[in-house]
């Protein structure tokens, strides 16, 4: 069992990261899994996806000593059935990240930097964001852009979002950790401004937003 990271944030949010070092069999044997999640796992064909879901449950059991049930809204957004705590979840093959807050909307995304993020430039960035790219740090910069937009998308919980048109990330210089500013524009023109935080570790980037 491997709780890799725990962060207590100034705004009462908490982040937990689980490193998936176990096999599927080890996770299944050591983790108490609710019946509805076991049924879902039985229909999941991908072994990697089953491991992610089992590690997610193992992390929830680590965070909450009481029995806790996880549900999903029709749009896929997770929620905790027997507590009012807000939650957002993200996975890679190696890590599961969860962010919690007592009442604020939030979002988190984690990605492995081994992934080629070149497609993000075409499908998710505005012209201004493309102009701000630095060729020397391009893949990291694209990864942070993508994670930031995913985190905001999860926080907004709205379908049909155009990442390039509706989520604008201000220019930033990618480092090992930092803050970035972004604006979400509703289709009626209403704007919401966000400050996000990010951290780079173990060849992964993680971005989160609260409020």
Q: Are residues 51 and 12 in the same domain?
A: yes
Domain extent at residue 88: 3-103
1 token code pair: 């069992």
pLDDT of 120-146, one tens digit each? 999 999 999 999 999 999 999 999 999
Question: Residue 129's beta-bridge partner residues?
Answer: none
- In terms of domains, do 158 and 197 share one? yes
Out of 103, 125, 141, pick the residue that ends a domain. Answer: 103
Same domain, 88 and 13: yes
Q: What does DSSP say about strands 3-8 and 14-19: parallel, antiparallel, or unpaired?
A: antiparallel
Other residues' Cβ atoms within 10 Å of the Cβ of residue 2: 14
Phi-psi region of 203 (alpha: psi -120 to 50; beta: other; left: phi over 0): left
Low-confidence ranges of the chain (pLDDT < 50): none
pLDDT computed for residue 1 by the predictor? 58
Verify that 141 and 57 share a domain, yes or no. Answer: no
DSSP string, 133-154: --GGGHHHHHHHHHHHHHHHHH
pLDDT at 176: 95
Secondary structure class of 211 (helix, strand, coil): coil
99 and 114 housed in the same domain = no
Instruction: Answer with the one of 103, 125, 148 that is the final residue of a domain.
Output: 103
Quick one: 16 and 84 in the same domain?
A: yes
Number of domains in the chain: 2
Q: Which of 83, 103, 123 is the last residue in one of the domains?
A: 103
Whether residue 89 sits in one domain with residue 21: yes
> For residue 141, what are its two tokens?
């910069």
Residue 174 and residue 125 in one domain = yes
Same domain (yes/no): 118, 205: yes
CATH number at residue 77: 3.90.470.20
* pLDDT on residue 111: 98
Q: Do 58 and 127 fall into the same domain? A: no
Same domain, 195 and 123: yes
Q: Is residue 1 a contact partner of residue 202, using CB atoms and an 8 Å limit? A: no
Same domain, 11 and 90: yes
């Amino acid at each position: 069992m491997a709780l890799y990271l725990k962060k207590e944030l100034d705004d009462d949010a908490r982040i937990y990261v689980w490193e998936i070092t176990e096999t599927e069999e080890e996770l299944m044997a050591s983790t108490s899994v609710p019946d509805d999640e076991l049924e879902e796992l039985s229909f999941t064909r991908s072994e990697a996806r089953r491991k992610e879901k089992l590690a997610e449950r193992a992390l929830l059991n680590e965070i909450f000593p009481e029995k806790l049930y996880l549900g999903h809204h029709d749009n896929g957004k997770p929620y905790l059935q027997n507590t009012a705590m807000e939650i957002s979840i993200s996975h890679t093959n190696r890590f599961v990240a969860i962010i919690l807050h007592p009442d604020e909307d939030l979002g988190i995304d984690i990605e492995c930097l081994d992934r080629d993020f070149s497609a993000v430039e075409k499908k998710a960035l505005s012209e201004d964001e493309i102009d701000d790219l630095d060729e020397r740090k391009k893949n990291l910069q694209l990864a942070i852009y993508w994670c930031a937009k995913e985190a905001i998308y999860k926080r907004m919980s709205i379908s049909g979002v155009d990442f390039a048109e509706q989520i604008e990330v201000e220019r930033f210089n990618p480092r090992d950790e930092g803050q970035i500013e972004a604006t979400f524009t509703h289709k009626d023109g209403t704007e919401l401004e966000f400050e996000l935080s990010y951290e780079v570790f173990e060849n992964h980037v993680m971005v989160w937003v609260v409020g």
